[in-house]
Amino acid sequence: AAVTWNVSGIPADGKYTLYVNYGVPGKDAKATLTINGTAQDRLLNMGNFAHAAEGDYEKGWTNTWGDITLNKGTNTIKISCEQGNQCDVNFDQLRLETGWK
């Protein structure tokens, strides 16, 4: 399974922070983050930062971020469940900010 976001209008090549709002059922998740067809070296960590009880998606909503590099114009951002990932997660929102956190 994967979520793909084709984002246009990136004003310049450079560093951006990808913010991800998500819910997990009381356990950590990790997924592969791919930018423009290249998998990033680090997995996207979607921990149980809300400290929800196991199986409790309702209380498991929280957020995380990843530092990424984008090109001016249009870019493709993909979050996917690859072999070895833990992907019991629901996505709510993705957003970008200029610069790294």
CATH of residue 28's domain is 2.60.120.260
Let me know the angle formed at the C-alpha of 61 by 59 and 66, rounded to the nearest 5 degrees: 155
Domain count of the fold of the chain: 1
Find, among 94, 19, 14, the residue nearest to 64 by Cα. Answer: 19
C-alpha 61/C-alpha 53 separation (Å) is 12
Per-residue pLDDT reduced to its tens digit, 11-20: 999 999 999 9
Token output for 23: 């819910």
Structural domain of 16: 2-98
pLDDT in tens, 64-101: 999 999 999 999 999 999 999 999 999 999 999 999 98
Distance between CA 85 and CA 74 in Å, rounded?
Answer: 27
| DSSP code of residue 83 | T
pTM for the structure as a whole: 0.93
Chain centre distance of CA 55: 21
